[in-house]
Structure 1
Amino acid sequence: MGARYEERVSRFGGAVLWTWSGPREPARPVLPDGCMDLLWIGGRLLVAGPDSHAFAPTEAFSGSCAGIRFAPGTAPALLGVPADELRDRRVPLDALWPGPEVRGLTGRMGTADDPAAALEDIALRRAAGTEPPDPLTAAVAAQLARGRSVAATAHAVGLGPRQLHRRSLAAFGYGPKTLARVLRLQRALALVRAGTPYAEAAHTAGCTDQAHLAREMRDLAGTTLGGHLAATGHAGPAANSETAQPSGSRTTA
């Protein structure tokens, strides 16, 4: 029986609920997306910090698991820890919250018919007693997600470069330049999965050219576009080629 992944929109603003069943192959890494997750895996509650590079799941992440994926910048206020302290890490929830509280939550998760919904309930209850995310960081994420430059984003939100960098580390786990790269790669991948030729996807997402997108894919994902699509069961457009196009080109090989 093969692996199966499903997701649905959460009642927690901007979040997504997801479930996974089946084996986790190293060839199908989790790519950076600027998000943080609360996970239920192997009878344990874990937190996945923001990734700055591809994460290769181990055997511990096989089987049935569930998660709630929080939009960039929204999890630190909920979890009570700056995002950069969790960058590229998976940590037990009881390392962040009091042990007795986590043991109670773990007991309830163990009897839940829908683990993803149970994680959503944890997040909603926690949010009711904590300060909401800084709206400024939400504005930063929105600007960068639309492809705005870091300089333009800083100007739009009224912050200097150093202030923006410091606030971004706490909210997203890395500086605005890295977040912009991550979000741009995700835009390009969404376009390619929808059938857009590589060169056109690179241009539309904000890359200089197809070669730029190929470099970003290798740096952030550790693979090629074709390799990633093959590993995740997405067939790229027939006209696509891994051969880089000349700068500014929107044609395919």
Structure 2
Amino acid sequence: MTRKNTDTNIETDGRNAQDSRNETGAVYGEEKSAADSTADKREILPADQTLPVKLLLIPLQGRPIFPGIFTPLMINSSDDTKVIEEAYAGDGYVGICMLRNDAENPSMNDLHEVGTVARIIKKINLPDGGLNVFISTLKRFRIRKALHSTAPMAAAVEYLDDEEDDTFEVKALTRALISEMKEVSENNPLFSEEMRLNMVNIDHPGKIADFIASILNIDKDEQQKVLEMLNVRQRMEQVLVYIKKEQELLRVQKKIQNELNEKVEKNQREYFLREEMKSIQEELG
């Protein structure tokens, strides 16, 4: 019997946890010898390859991770460590989903439905029992059915393609995004030259929007909103709005900084003038 969770629209299989684990692989089963080698590197494969329809899931308390990114990921939770070990011993794929809240022991209901599938490229065991893994994120997915609702979480997923809109407006939006983002990066020391070069070298409008959304100083819920946007044009328009907000924030910040500098300079001038007058009075007796 299948029941549907009305809070998250995720269907939950009524079978027991052992059955769910059997479908996705023995999460707590014996580790394969290939997983013991932390120096083993996996090839970074293109996103259009055949991806697994069942994924072990890693909940993120921080910001969502967008497709097309190679990034390190620190794993401290013992439950998440087991998931990584199991995935790494198998095909290397894992689903990354942002949490809706700060639940200490999250379940499937605490996850956003849309996440990113990633392939574990390298795994490094840390002295404290945690892991440092390097992942290559490939594609958006949506959770269709929970196979195991509590840690270690697993789900049946469907992969989401960008809704392309190769029009003059999209080309204009692409230029606008790059131009406006250059202005932001020039006024913000946190944006490195490497980031600017990466942005210019991306040749797909949807990926440009994803990259910019991933580095903008916006709320994680706003980033999740971008992640869930499949229509490329709408995604680009939304990211452009966030860029405009960032520009306004930088302008206000610069104005406040200039006013503060002027106040400090004025106070310094007044201080030196008072000291000078004091010295003159002492000389005159």
Give TM-score, length-normalised by structure 1. 0.26
Structure with the bigger percentage of strand? 2
Give TM-score, length-normalised by structure 2. 0.24
Higher-Rg member (1/2): 2
